[in-house]
Amino acid sequence: MRLNKEDVPEVCQHLLRDIEAYQDENARLLDQHITLEHQFNLLEQQLTEIEAEAQDNLQSNQKTLDSNNQYEQMFLQSPIALVEVDENGLIIAANQMAVELLQKKSLILKNTNIRTFLVAKSRVNFIKTIQSMISDLNVKRNQQVLTFKDGRLVDAQFQIIDSAVIQNTTILMSLNLIDLNVPSPHSYRLFSVMFEQSNEGVIITDRDGTIVNVNHAFCEITGYSQIEAIGQNPKLLHSGYHNEAFYKKMWQQLLDIGWWSGEIWNKRKNGEIYPEWLSIYRVYDEQLAHTYYIANFSDLTQRKHHQQQLDRLAFYDALTGLPNRTRLHNFIEDKLASAKSADKVAVLFLDLDKFKDVNDQYGHPEGDRVLREAAQRILSRIREGDMACRVGGDEFVVVLTRIHKPDDAITVAKDMVEVLSKAFVTEHNRHRLSVSIGLSFSSKHGKNFSDLMRRADSAMYKAKHLGRNRFQVFQLEDDDQLNHIATVIAHIWRAIDRPLQAIEMHYQPVYSAENTLCPRHFEALVRIKTEDDQLIFPGDFIELAEQHGLMDELGMAIFEAVCRDIVKHRLDSALRVAVNLSQQQFYNGNLIEHLELKAKEFQLDLSRFQFEVTETATMENIHSMRKLLEGLKNKQADILLDDFGTGYASLSILKNLPVNILKIDQSFVNDIGCSVEVETLITAIIAMAKALGLELVAEGVETEAQLKWLTAQKVDYLQGYFLAKPQLPFKLT
């Protein structure tokens, strides 16, 4: 019987509600229990799976570790030298074989760059190989033959290690030492590389002459590809330059002794004929029982071109393009050796007069233009078979080879004088020069190069002395003079090389006109002493020294001797010594520096000296002369203008020259008392000097009458034999 809630007491109703609530809670807890039990089962299953996975990973790691250890041992114990390097060549690891090959301890090898073991060319090839592999991801392997510094060759194989395994790119290298005496895959590979990479072309033919192989250099040199060449005969290279007898002789030698070598002209695919050096060898292959011919050749085109350039430099003048002295020597000797021309040779030695003025006033480029034009004019006046050469700065030689009588050469010489006296017109200037020419003939004056040149040169100098702008034929009676010149030149060289033994200085006092008892200064006068103690005076050697370009060196040797004497004789510092300077010395841009350095060697200053220059010398190059004289004067030296009145110095030029003292030339002093005109001239010179604030020295005073007249004219200083002769030591009284 079902009870209604209304029929149940209130207490029971509360109890029923509690029971219902308990039942609901119990059902909820049962659901949670079921859920938790399900989750627990899932977790238990996951734990089992994790434990199983962990066990698998542990076993896998152990296997990997075992595998790595195995690989490491394989690396270390490999019978091949293995080296692991980074992309710069730094060694990361090396096995025992590599340690032995590289001959370094393992600890030292690590962090050592493998390039330090290689020669320069192999270091470059190593870098190129690594860079090419890194830049091209498709290239995983490479090969290169490397040379160690000790000369050993190795076949190096390169393998990039996968960057997914190792963070940084590394390269594994296997190094195989190549022994050329032992056949091996490595030596065969080397020979293959050498064949392909050789700079010389290589052809291999069978015994019938059919080409079986060629290398890359062959293709580069000839223009034929390997496919075009193989199967052909080397005759495809024939140029037609050599005849059948040439090739017959070549093959006969190959058959007789097994090799041939020589220069040959072949033809490229494009038809160009070129020279090559060819070597052919006969080779017998015992295994195949076949005979082969191996030819290697090098292209001589560039070498020939360079040789021509060297020959050009060796035998031709770079400025004018004319043959030089070496080529001239060979040409003359060849003509003299020929029976047809031995007595028909004439040598013309040409020297352009006053050419130096062009260089000094307008610069060397302008002078070069004049020389090139002069060369063309000379060439235009000689025949085919003759030769024109440039042998010096402004010196040319013409060799005529078909002279039947002296007048033939004289006609050419006259023509040369005429054509070279015409104005040389350049872009901005017009120059008037002349030429002095000396002639010698093989029929009269010599049978060798040296005699003909020496005598033509002597005749040329004689033409200059006779006034320039002319020619002169060598005369046999001039031989004595020529021999004398050669002897004097030899003494000059001895003076330059051994100044202590060969230079003897004499000193002539210069007196004040007010006191002719005590000298005010001295003039240094040089003598050259021969080996037999004979003295050569300046008039016999100064001009020769200037002609042969020796005055600069001789002048410094003389100055050194003067410095030595000043110190040796303890000359009073108040007494200056006058030293003559040659015009040639002023062309030395470092003259002042050289003089000062030489003086300092003896603890002397240039203020102890007076430097004498001739009036004529100052007129040669007034601008450079003034600069140098000012430089000497700034060193507190006195400047004397010698031989005044004999040249063409104008008053304005004299005013602008930094001169302290004028010297009246001896030629004027000699005529005192004999020529009123000369006395008037001397009086004018004295007045001019006083007006310009210059002091005067009269040289060559040899009589009492001259002394009295000059003293009366108030000349400042006097010098001459009447007062004192030049003496070996300094004469103070």
pLDDT in tens, 55-102: 666 666 555 555 556 666 777 778 888 988 888 889 888 888 888 888
Q: Pick the more confident residue, 1 or 69.
A: 69
CA 570 to chain centre: 48
Q: In sequence order, what DSSP letters do the residues of 50-97 get, joined into one string?
A: HHHHHHHHHHHHHHHHHHHHHHHHHHHH-SSEEEEEETT-BEEEE-HH
Distances (CA, A) of 95 to 74, 92, 146, 147, 589: 9, 11, 19, 20, 70
- The per-residue pLDDT for 473 is 93
Q: Is the pLDDT of residue 187 over 70?
A: no
Lowest-pLDDT range of 438-442, 514-518, 603-607: 514-518
Beta strand residue intervals within 139-289, DSSP E: 141-147, 153-161, 170-178, 201-206, 211-214, 259-267, 273-285
What confidence tens digit (pLDDT) does each residue in 320-349 have?
989 988 889 999 999 998 877 778 899 999
Residue 268 burial (CB < 10 Å; 0-12/13-18/19+)?
middle
Lowest-pLDDT range of 43-57, 407-421, 453-467: 43-57
DSSP annotation of 88: T
Read off the pLDDT of each residue in 515-541 and give the average, rounded to a whole number. Answer: 91
Q: Pick the more confident residue, 720 or 476.
A: 720
What confidence tens digit (pLDDT) does each residue in 696-721 have?
999 989 999 989 999 998 999 999 99
Read off the pLDDT of each residue in 145-160 and give the average, rounded to a whole number. Answer: 87
Lowest-pLDDT range of 135-144, 443-452, 568-577: 135-144
Which are the contacts of 261, defined by CB distance < 8 A and separation ≥ 6? Answer: 277, 278, 279, 280
- The per-residue pLDDT for 554 is 93
Q: If phi over 0 gives left and psi between -120 and 50 gives alpha, with beta otherwise, what is residue 76?
A: alpha
Residues of the chain by 3-state class (helix, strand, coil), percent to 5: 50, 25, 30
Q: Is the pLDDT of residue 158 over 60?
A: yes
What confidence tens digit (pLDDT) does each residue in 99-139 have?
888 888 777 788 888 898 999 888 888 888 888 888 877 77
Read off the pLDDT of each residue in 547-557 and give the average, rounded to a whole number. Answer: 90
Note whether 78-191 and 487-718 share their fold: no
Confidence class of residue 11 from pLDDT cuts 50, 70 and 90?
A: low
Signed CA dihedral, 357, 360, 361, 365: sign only: positive
Give the whole-angstrom CA distance, residue 115 versus residue 323. 52
Give the whole-angstrom CA distance, residue 110 versus residue 324. 63
Residue 305, SS3 per DSSP: helix
Q: Pick the more confident residue, 348 or 360.
A: 348
Q: Is the pLDDT of residue 521 over 60?
A: yes
Q: Measure the CA dihedral 324/325/329/334, to 10°.
A: 10
Helix ranges (H only) for 514-610 are 538-547, 551-568, 591-601
Domain ranges of the chain: 1-76, 78-191, 198-304, 316-474, 487-718
**What share of the chain in percent tops pLDDT 90?**
36
Q: Is the pLDDT of residue 180 over 60?
A: no
DSSP annotation of 512: E
- The per-residue pLDDT for 657 is 80
Confidence class of residue 437 from pLDDT cuts 50, 70 and 90?
A: very high
Lowest-pLDDT range of 16-30, 316-330, 471-485, 504-518: 16-30
**What share of the chain in percent tops pLDDT 70?**
89
With beta carbons less than 8 A apart as the criterion, state whether 360 and 301 touch. no
Mean residue pLDDT of the chain comes to: 85
Give the whole-angstrom CA distance, residue 84 versus residue 318. 58
Read off the pLDDT of each residue in 558-563 and give the average, rounded to a whole number. Answer: 94
Give the whole-angstrom CA distance, residue 399 versus residue 378. 11
| CATH no. for 78-191 | 3.30.450.20
Residue 119 burial (CB < 10 Å; 0-12/13-18/19+)?
middle
Closest CA to 450 of 336, 550, 322: 336
- The per-residue pLDDT for 729 is 76
Distances (CA, A) of 37 to 24, 27, 74: 20, 15, 54
Residue 713, SS3 per DSSP: coil
CB-hemisphere CA count at 13 Å for 135?
A: 6
**Lookup result for tokens 């293995």:** 82
Give the whole-angstrom CA distance, residue 547 versus residue 583. 11
With beta carbons less than 8 A apart as the criterion, state whether 567 and 602 touch. yes
Confidence class of residue 181 from pLDDT cuts 50, 70 and 90?
A: low
Q: Pick the more confident residue, 475 or 732.
A: 475
> Quick one: which H or E segment has residue 358?
helix 355-362
| CATH no. for 198-304 | 3.30.450.20
Confidence class of residue 414 from pLDDT cuts 50, 70 and 90?
A: very high
Q: Mutual orientation of helices 364-379 and 355-362 as an angle, nearest 10°?
A: 150
Read off the pLDDT of each residue in 549-573 and give the average, rounded to a whole number. Answer: 92
Confidence class of residue 475 from pLDDT cuts 50, 70 and 90?
A: confident
Give the whole-angstrom CA distance, residue 218 versus residue 229. 9
Read off the pLDDT of each residue in 551-570 and give the average, rounded to a whole number. Answer: 92
Architecture of 316-474 per CATH?
Answer: 2-Layer Sandwich (3.30)
Q: Is the pLDDT of residue 54 over 80?
A: no
- The per-residue pLDDT for 558 is 94
Q: Is the pLDDT of residue 655 over 90?
A: no
Q: Which CATH class is domain 487-718?
A: alpha beta
Q: Is the pLDDT of residue 648 over 60?
A: no
How many other C-beta atoms are found inside a 10 Å radius of the C-beta of residue 102? 22
Residue 234, SS3 per DSSP: helix
- The per-residue pLDDT for 101 is 86
Computed over its alpha carbons, how large is the radius of gyration of the chain? 51
Residue type, 112: T
Q: Is the pLDDT of residue 570 over 80?
A: yes
Distances (CA, A) of 668 to 615, 689, 710: 15, 16, 11
Structure tokens at 355: 């050419």
